[in-house]
A and B are shown apart, each in its own frame.
Chain A
Amino acid sequence: MSTRPIVAAPSEAVAEVVFDATMQERVSDVLRRYPTTRAAILPVLWLCQERYGWISPGVVRAVADRLGESTAFVEGVVSFYTMYYTRPPARYVLQACTTLSCAWCGGRELVEHLKGRLGIDFGETTPDGTFQLVGVQCLGACGTAPVIQINDDYYERLDANRLDAILDELARRR
């Protein structure tokens, strides 16, 4: 299993963010792809999420400063999209598809099982910070329903047994 855990920087560590040389270089590399600096906002936010694990208010300010935008503008962009974590995520974010094909092909039962096993509801994290459960809309893998995305990876054609084995393995790794 290749799913890497998310390592989220503690809030204090990203209260104020200064991009180091590596980050600056990556940002410059992104900037040369577009005719405007504003177009780099989404890719730079991705670089930050990769680096810090989430988009803290400090990260938003750093991105805004680097790209010459207001904090409010960058914040507006961040809040429009669902994939930027605005709070430190758990090590494994379980994103269960709740849309039609998944829901009607075992997804509903799978979500019930997951909630029971983890003792949490959508939007919640297990007390040990290992798993976070999120209900998401269509992941575009309807032919292999039901599907759960764990961090960056898709897990398809799931049933309760397979999912349990996957979660056991992930939990053991911490």
Chain B
Amino acid sequence: MEPVLLRARGVTDSQAIATYLAAGGYEGLKKALAMAPDAVTKEVLDSELRGRGGAGFPTGRKWSFVPKDHPGPRYLICNADESEPGTFKDREIMEYDPHQVVEGIAIASYAIRANTAYIYIRGEFLRWTRILEVAIEEARRAGFVGRNILGSGYDLEIWVHRGAGAYICGEETALLESLEGKRGFPRLKPPFPAVVGAFGKPTVVNNVETLACVPHIMTRGAHWFASIGRPRNTGPKLFCVSGHVERPGVYELPLGVTFREIIEEHCGGIRGGRKLKAFFPGGTSAPIMTASEVGVQADFDACAQAGTMLGSGGIIVLDETVDMVEVAANVAHFYAHESCGQCTPCREGADWCMDILDRMTHGHARPADPETLLRICRFSSNGMTICPLGDAYALPISSMVTKFREEFDRRIQTATPLPQKKLPVLPWLGPRPGFGL
């Protein structure tokens, strides 16, 4: 398919507003400003665009939840806190086509009648923070941002807000807390951000890629967008493929393509002619899939049907050489480090899983370990925690234990008793929580 979101990749000077304008940039905003805000929302609703950040919630519906009669300010937040392991697509958009994001923000803000928008970007992305700031400034000088945009009477300010290192701030309510200058503790829902969001006001939080789709929907129409992919899973999607493939990278493909096509055709297959063992379909928060499931379609509904999720589209491919116990230990380390600590099942559970999996990796597995892992995961998933981080570690770990049980059992057969002295930290794993700077 012809590139849409990545059409500027490889184009000279693609970040500049002149390049963007020459390619028809900001036409979508012009069109939107000539319409009623609700008509813009209706167009996005008709396109069946679903959120690209991970949850896959229909974007137009999210916008429509903002109360129409609310007197005070409302906010639009662009979530650029890209932190899900295996995900590096938003960075690609910001690198090659930052104006696409700025235009998407402007259209979305107009649709929900917000006069202030914030881009919440992860702290490590300083390079892309600068790129966005330059793009916003260019857009301001060209009259696409600021007061009375293109003479429409509509005002919009866009500010970039830099995070400071916390995976949890990609969760929308934690993001709002962080934006408000607090620790990034997720909020209980309801109330949903559309009603009580940033600074207590109605707020919509959309992912970078979601917003980047919006200008194209405006210029080319909802029906064009809906014709890509398959029903209820429409539009182009950025798939980030990493791990053991010949050609890792970001690929723009219609939703509904199979994982086999992505891995074998687009990415050139498994590196070194090895065999596929397993893959995470949408970041490590998504339950793992085995080689036999590679024929599943990469879209929201097909993944849900297969008992996993498309998530952010971060596909991590693992070849036959990997040890699943070690992979599980690595995943557990990530979530134990990133749990915010509010809810006991997540704070303690992720830590316990990490301890057990570390011990198993060291060769000291105990007969009860696999069942203990599954029990911990059961108590941390399906609504036991304020935000989905409880599920985000529990579902992948339990999927690894279930689908690769023989590898966990083999560890028990070859185990030696736990020595009395404290185990060293696995040298190749990250520091344990609390062992940062």
Contact = CB atoms under 8 A, between A and B. Distances in A.
Are A and B interaction partners?
yes
Nearest to A38: B181
Contacts of B23: none
A142 B248 contact: yes
A126 B427 CA distance: 18
Given A99-B330, A138-B83, A145 B163 contact: no
A167 to B, nearest CB: 19
B164 A83 contact: yes
A123 B428 contact: no
A34 to B, nearest CB: 8
Given A111-B427, A135-B429, A137-B167, A100 B180 contact: no
Given A39-B181, A135-B430, A80 B166 contact: yes
Contacts of A112: 427-428
A19 interface: no
B327 interface: yes
A84 interface: yes
A69 to B, nearest CB: 8
B431 interface: yes
Interface size, A (range):
35 or more
B73 interface: yes
Given A82-B165, A142-B85, A77 B428 contact: no
B225 to A, nearest CB: 26
A154 to B, nearest CB: 7
Contacts of B184: 80-81
A83 B124 contact: yes
A13 B172 CA distance: 39
Contacts of B330: 98-100, 103
Q: Which of B127, B157, B240, B431 has the most CB of A within 10 A?
A: B431
B298 to A, nearest CB: 16
A138 B179 contact: no
B253 to A, nearest CB: 15
Contact of A140 (B83, B159, B179): B83
A81 B250 contact: no
A143 B250 contact: yes
Interface string A72-101: 000011001111111101000100001111
Interface string B164-196: 111100000000001111111000000000000
Interface of B: 73, 82-88, 91, 122-127, 157, 159, 161-167, 178-184, 199, 240-244, 248-250, 280, 284, 314, 316, 318, 322, 327, 330-331, 333-334, 337-338, 340, 425, 427-431, 435-437
20 contacts: A33-B157, A33-B159, A38-B181, A81-B166, A82-B165, A82-B436, A82-B437, A99-B284, A100-B280, A100-B316, A104-B318, A122-B425, A123-B431, A123-B435, A134-B431, A134-B437, A137-B85, A137-B337, A143-B248, A153-B127
